[in-house]
């Protein structure tokens, strides 16, 4: 009743989740760093959007490169449910 938006196919989660997470993280961190370094200056929002867009431009491709590498590394230490524990 409330969710009338069309559903996105699950295959798109491989790029949608990193896109949203990189946007949220880069936006939060760039805003926080700008606030710490410059304070609440005139045109803060303008400076933040510029900083955020550049950060996001770097963050998303980096996540897309590092995510499979980190997943592969961590799978060495993860026990899957169908595998016996050592």
Percent of the chain with pLDDT over 90: 81
Tokens of 24: 């949220």
Position 67 scores a pLDDT of 95
- Distance CA(51)–CA(45), nearest Å, equals 10
Residue 70 confidence (pLDDT): 96
pTM as predicted: 0.76
Q: For residue 38, is pLDDT > 90?
A: yes
What percentage of the chain has pLDDT greater than the value 70? Answer: 94
| Of 83 and 48, the one with more pLDDT | 48
At a CB cut-off of 8 Å and minimum separation 6, what does 18 contact?
Answer: 60, 63, 64, 67
């Amino acid at each position: 009743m409330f969710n009338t938006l069309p559903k996105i196919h699950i295959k798109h989660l491989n790029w949608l989740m990193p896109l949203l997470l990189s946007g949220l993280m880069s936006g939060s961190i760039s805003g926080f760093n700008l606030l710490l370094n410059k304070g609440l200056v005139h045109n803060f929002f303008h400076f933040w959007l510029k900083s955020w867009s550049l950060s996001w431009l770097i963050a998303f491709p980096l996540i897309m490169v590092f995510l499979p590498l980190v997943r592969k590394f961590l799978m060495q230490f993860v026990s899957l449910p169908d595998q016996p524990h050592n």
